[in-house]
């Protein structure tokens, strides 16, 4: 039978559901759900029994058995906006009521530093080399981080020398899949054991590209790697989409390059949202904040919220 806590969590995730309507469908006294949610009464066993078949119609079973969508944020090169996208897509998802975990799988530790977490005592290194549990830092409600720094590079040799090394991250992540709606992994700017590990553990890859002449160079290696991992290790792995970042929509060159990239990669899914060039994005990371806290009315905040909305809509269909 459902618990009161499960009912409350489900309704919080489904704000468009009418509490009065559910009350009526379940044959409960007027205001029962609203009073319970506001702490004015407790749902009895008979209330919960009446609610269960109604809430099943609205998907509570899938909610209770949920597994996080795990997205590896990838590119074959640095400086294209992977970390910026991980931070701000994650916060945009949290703004939509989704529970989000960010994981810093890059030994440069830029994700952690950009969120104000420096020299973490407990970090991903101990998880991969000592079997420790994931050290989770709460940044905001429903917005958490597993940090790393340069120490993570010590794990690379150990993971590479053992055949099961590529599976350690996936196994460590497994206990968290029922706790979050989305897990975003900031991958290094190269196709290393860390990138392989992220793709093995993920449900999809989210690729960040800049509108530049060399944007497609190396993409075929990344796409081939994703295909190989899908065939050998992770049959569920897909491409979530390609997002164009650092776009200046006023530049004819950028518009032409984006059209060319879309033509060259026409078999791949692209997001409709494009992330415009915006100095506030760089400034926010310098002060250790996401763009929504730093400058919520900026183009960066608007674009990343639009991207988050697009991701949520895709998974709600």
pLDDT of residue 79: 75
pLDDT of residue 126: 96
With 0.85 as the threshold, say if the pTM is over it.
no
pLDDT per residue over 132-175, tens digit each? 999 999 999 999 999 999 999 999 999 999 888 999 999 999 99
Contacts 24+ apart (CB under 8 A), 115-122: 115/87, 115/139, 115/145, 115/288, 115/289, 115/290, 116/288, 116/289, 117/145, 117/147, 118/149, 119/149, 120/147, 120/148, 120/149
pLDDT of residue 317: 64
Vertex 102, ends 58 and 235: CA angle to 5°?
65
pLDDT of residue 2: 78
pLDDT of residue 1: 67
pLDDT per residue over 35-90, tens digit each? 999 999 999 989 988 998 898 888 887 777 778 999 999 998 777 799 999 999 99
pLDDT per residue over 86-136, tens digit each? 999 999 999 999 999 999 999 999 999 999 999 999 999 999 999 999 999
Q: What is the DSSP string of 79-144?
A: SSSHHHHHHHHHHHHHHTT--EEEEE--TT-HHHHHTT--S-SS-HHHHHHH-PPP--EEEETTEE
The mean pLDDT of 290-314, rounded to a whole number, is 97
Q: How confident is the model at residue 289 (pLDDT cuts 50, 70, 90)?
A: very high
CA distance 287 to 254: 29
pLDDT per residue over 227-254, tens digit each? 999 999 999 999 999 999 999 989 999 9
The mean pLDDT of 177-193, rounded to a whole number, is 92
Other Cβ atoms closer than 10 A to 13: 17
Q: How confident is the model at residue 12 (pLDDT cuts 50, 70, 90)?
A: confident
pLDDT of residue 76: 81
């Amino acid at each position: 039978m459902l618990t009161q806590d499960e009912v409350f969590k489900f309704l919080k995730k489904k704000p468009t559901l009418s509490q009065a309507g559910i009350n009526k469908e379940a044959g409960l006294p007027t205001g029962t759900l609203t009073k319970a949610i506001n702490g004015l009464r407790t749902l009895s066993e008979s209330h919960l029994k009446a609610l269960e078949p109604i809430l099943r119609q609205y998907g509570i079973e899938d909610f209770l058995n949920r597994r996080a969508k795990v997205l590896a944020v990838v590119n074959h090169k640095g400086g294209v906006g992977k970390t910026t996208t991980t931070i701000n897509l994650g916060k945009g998802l949290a703004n939509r009521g989704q529970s989000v975990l960010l994981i810093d799988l890059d030994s440069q530790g830029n994700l952690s530093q950009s969120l104000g977490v420096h020299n973490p005592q407990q970090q991903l290194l101990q998880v991969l080399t000592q079997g420790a549990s994931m050290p989770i830092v709460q940044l905001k409600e429903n917005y958490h981080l597993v940090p790393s720094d340069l120490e993570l590079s010590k794990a690379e040799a150990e993971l590479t020398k053992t055949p099961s090394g590529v599976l350690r991250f996936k196994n460590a992540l497994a206990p968290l899949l029922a706790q979050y709606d989305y897990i975003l992994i900031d991958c290094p700017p190269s196709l290393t054991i860390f990138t392989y590990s992220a793709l093995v553990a993920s449900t999809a890859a989210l690729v960040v590209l800049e509108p530049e002449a060399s944007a497609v160079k190396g993409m075929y290696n990344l796409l081939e790697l994703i295909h190989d991992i899908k065939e050998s290790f992770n049959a569920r792995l897909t491409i979530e989409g390609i997002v164009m970042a650092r776009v200046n929509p006023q530049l004819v060159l950028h518009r032409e390059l984006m059209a060319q990239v879309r033509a060259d990669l026409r078999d791949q899914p692209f997001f409709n949202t494009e992330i415009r060039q915006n100095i506030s994005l760089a400034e926010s990371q310098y002060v250790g904040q996401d763009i929504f806290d730093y400058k919520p009315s900026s183009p960066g905040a608007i674009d990343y919220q639009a991207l988050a909305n697009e991701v949520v809509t895709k998974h709600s269909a």
